[in-house]
Chain A
Amino acid sequence: MSEETKPFEPTIIGFTCNWCSYRAADMAGTARMKYAPNVRLIRLMCSGRLDPTFVFKAFANGADAVLVSGCHPGDCHYINQNYKMLRRFHLMKRVLAQMGIEPERIKLLWASAAEGAIFADEVNKFVEQVRALGPLNWNKGNGVALETPVHEEVPA
């Protein structure tokens, strides 16, 4: 394992919804709240639009963690769709765990448009949590032929 000269900066993809969580992030920005810049935000119209494929692709392409954020239960702009996302999220977390992706690398956050400060705070906490886990580097090291290890001498 090589020595790190700088602290590891996690790359996090954040899926937010147009009506609540994206506006929360927006609010944090316009209020000039300082928070970790590690999250690249992707805006969906609704968290229910989150196809699990997006999350798998994010990890496959090098993300260290994924944040999914939508309206609070009961407040979804499209009535019920954040519940759909909630169910997918629970199942997805189990599948990812079996793939060796720690549950701490994927976070669900409900945030209303007015909760900019909470959003910023949660992001900061998440970044530190992921920093402690280390990089995921999903696609590094594939396809290299493994030398079958040599073992103890076979007795004559």
Chain B
Amino acid sequence: MTQRITIDPITRLEGHGKIEIFLNDEGEVANTYFQIPELRGFERFVVGRPVEEMPLLTNRICGVCPEAHHMAAAKAVDAVYHVDIPSTAKKLRELLYSAFYCTDHTTHFYALAGPDFVMGPDAPVAERNILGVIHKVGLEIGGKVIQMRKYGHTVVEMIGGRKVHPCTSIPGGLTKGITEEQRKEIEEMGRWAIEFAQFSLKLFNDIVLSNKAYVDLILGDIYTHQTYYMGTVDENNHVNFYDGKVRVVGPDGKELVKYAPHEYMDNVAEHVEPWTYLKFPYMKKVGWKGFVDGPDSGVYCATPLSRLNAADGMATPRAQEEYEKFYKTLGGKPVHQRLATHWARLIELLYAAERWVELATDPEITSPNYHTIPTEKPTEGVGIVEAPRGTLTHHYWTDERGVVTKANLIVGTTNNYAPITMSIQKAARSLIKKGTVVTEGLLNMVEMAFRAYDPCFGCATHSLPGQMPLEITIRNADGEIVDVLKQFVD
């Protein structure tokens, strides 16, 4: 008789999902199914809307990374109007985007994935959260994480108009620029972000890389897959989140293709299964061969790990140093161990912070020339950015008035649906064998296979059952104490 274990809903990530594990008579995993139960229908209901609303409407695909949709949409609507936006506008958008990346990667590492690593994969539910992390590594962390989120969202609001769902990108550029005063503040916060990123990498080293059990987990086969890897690169083949070409390398690290946004259709297709509302993108030139690894299978992933695998290096010096250390430690390129994504994410955090400062100190950044009025008739356009969770593609068609007639979206996490499905299955198969007692902690280790791919949610410090003695010292960018908050501390 088949036994069935259901994990519903999956937790500590953004979005809805359900995992079904079927065991055979021997108590081994016969099969697993990872189903996505939601469909809202953006591709349908944006039809009929004026195309300049797309950066606003598509924000609402994801309130954790609306910045990603906003930017992909902004680039797509620029392309629809065939307008080249002013250099200042490009830089302002990328500056917003870099600050957003810092916020997003931080909160995923500390609050979503961190607990599994820092507390232990099968630690009790009450401890397996950000507060458990703080308890273990020190109260100062909580304050830093709050500060990083605050700084990131402050930049987003200064350039994007709002903290969640930015509103300033329009065809031709932006609706506003920044003042010198704002620029100074942004630069200061950026410099703090670099320190914070370096601190985070050191933390990862001290807690994870110095712990043999964790290193074995990372290097072990249970969370390892050999697939294609996708990421956007600039003209030097360095990782870039905002602009460039999409590069895909194979399991052997060799380049399969490097394509411009308007060429995505030649390279990516989406496979359909009847038991889920989400589709499975794959490399068209290789073909869909099912949920299998290897160079003959079109399955690819698009994550921080993929981006590092697909690139030849990082565009900023400190991040480049970390990149080299990463591959040296893990035995060369490409790295296939999915848990290493957490490390790759922190390297990206450092790059984003360095890029933040680079752009904040660019002489053009405060220029009032942030918008060009489009003169061409709107027709069709594609915009691609790297969302933290993967390559994000927006493609719109309009009529001559600029009203959307059709839209196609391939969203970050969607890229990873096939490899996630495979990772869950492999983890379940490795962990659950004849005679295994299936505990909550064991099921959490199955969920960990998912968490490496999807850093979508911001959760600085959140509250959980229990009375936690906590003292948080909040410092401003100059290091002065602004406030001290205590609870259950005398």
Contact = CB atoms under 8 A, between A and B. Distances in A.
A and B directly contacting (CB within 8 A):
yes
Interface of A: 98, 151, 154
Interface in B41-55: 48
Contacts of A98: 48
Contacts of B9: none
Contacts of A151: 274
A151 to B, nearest CB: 8
Contacts of B274: 151, 154
Nearest to B48: A98
B52 to A, nearest CB: 19
B211 to A, nearest CB: 46
A78 B114 CA distance: 70
Nearest to A150: B274
A98 B274 CA distance: 33
B153 to A, nearest CB: 36
B interface: dominant SS: loop
A154 B48 CA distance: 33
Interface string B341-369: 00000000000000000000000000000
B64 to A, nearest CB: 28
Interface residues of B, number: 2
Nearest to A154: B274
Interface of B: 48, 274
Contacts of B48: 98
A98 B48 CA distance: 10
B190 to A, nearest CB: 46
B124 to A, nearest CB: 39
3 contacts: A98-B48, A151-B274, A154-B274
B91 to A, nearest CB: 39
A98 B403 CA distance: 14
Nearest to B273: A154
A70 B274 CA distance: 57
Nearest to A98: B48
A12 to B, nearest CB: 29
Contacts of A154: 274
A152 to B, nearest CB: 11
Nearest to A151: B274
A151 B48 CA distance: 28
A154 B275 CA distance: 11
A32 B274 CA distance: 66
A40 to B, nearest CB: 34
B39 to A, nearest CB: 10
B14 to A, nearest CB: 25
A117 to B, nearest CB: 43
A151 B275 CA distance: 13
A57 to B, nearest CB: 25
Nearest to B274: A154
Nearest to B272: A154
B387 to A, nearest CB: 29
A41 to B, nearest CB: 36
B37 to A, nearest CB: 12
B44 to A, nearest CB: 15
Cβ-closest 3 pairs across A and B? A154-B274, A98-B48, A151-B274
B49 to A, nearest CB: 11
A77 B219 CA distance: 85
B285 to A, nearest CB: 23
B403 to A, nearest CB: 12
A149 to B, nearest CB: 12
A98 B47 CA distance: 12
